[in-house]
Amino acid sequence: MDNATLASSTCKLFLIPNTLGETPIDQSLPAYASHVVASLQYFLVEDEKSARKLIKQLAPQLSIRELSIQRLNEHTKPEELSQLTAPLREGHSVGIISEAGCPAIADPGANVVKVAHELGMQVVPLVGPCSMVLALMASGLNGQSWRFQGYLPIENDKRIETIRSLDERVRTLGETQIMMDTPYRNEKLLQDLLAYCKSTTRLCIAQGLTTSNESIRTKSVHEWRQSAPSVEKIPALFLIGF
């Protein structure tokens, strides 16, 4: 049995969800997450500060200084993955923690998951909050056929073209479209959606999911145009559909 086969038979890659905001751990994550985190020594994390906080909350008995916590984010280069996944190759279980929500969903953790599968290792996703799924559940829009678009183009012309194209997909395919932006650009995205989607399109604005600021409301674009909410500063998802 070679080293890679030996490692794949003895270690696992755990996908550990994080909270979506300042939410009590017991309202977002199952108790099992605590047992998993307490068993690990190696972590790949999107943001070291928030990951340390989560680890301390889930497994206060661990000494943070004795853990291997390496950064894995959108700036991680492909050639760095070999070094980051070395513990897996050596037979150690590893946990991936994103800055918010579930790892590997619109998240660089997917690159490590790909490597784990190539090595024949078991990948274990833990239950936790996924903002796009929570928003879709509460939107009243089509949950049978949907697409997560992520961030739309920043360039104005491309952004407008994309919005019109997505609005057309809603009409021709009945497919719910989910998108987001950084909080300081939320207002711009909302105004563009109200300007370039048809008045009968339904728009769900989901903000602060799972937090004390949570607000999920769905209205027609026509109705939103009469009284558009303030969407600055709070993380939000925007869903359009029928």
- One domain, residues 230 and 143: yes
Q: What is the Cα–Cα distance from 195 to 177, expressed in whole angstroms?
A: 16
Q: What is the CATH number of the domain that holds 235?
A: 3.30.950.10
pLDDT tens-digit map of 133-172:
999 999 999 999 999 999 999 999 999 999 999 999 999 9
Long-range contacts from 62-65, C-beta under 8 angstroms, 24+ separation: 62/37, 62/38
Residue 70 near residue 96 (C-beta atoms within 8 A)? no
Which residues in the chain show pLDDT less than 70? 1-9
- One domain, residues 137 and 117: no
Residue 127 near residue 121 (C-beta atoms within 8 A)? no
- One domain, residues 13 and 117: yes
Q: What is the CATH number of the domain that holds 42?
A: 3.40.1010.10
Q: Which of 84, 110, 125 is the last residue of a domain?
A: 125
Q: What's the pLDDT score for residue 3?
A: 46
- Residue-range definition of the domain harbouring residue 213: 131-241
Question: Residue 232: how many CB atoms within 10 A of its CB?
Answer: 13
Residue 224 near residue 165 (C-beta atoms within 8 A)? no
pTM of structure = 0.89
Q: What's the pLDDT score for residue 138?
A: 98
Q: What's the pLDDT score for residue 100?
A: 87
SS3 content of the chain, % helix, strand, coil (to 5): 40, 20, 35
Q: Which of 83, 100, 125 is the last residue of a domain?
A: 125
Between helix 48-58 and helix 31-38 the angle, nearest 10°, is: 110
Query: How many domains, the chain?
Result: 2
Q: What's the pLDDT score for residue 9?
A: 55
Q: What's the pLDDT score for residue 79?
A: 86
- One domain, residues 171 and 228: yes
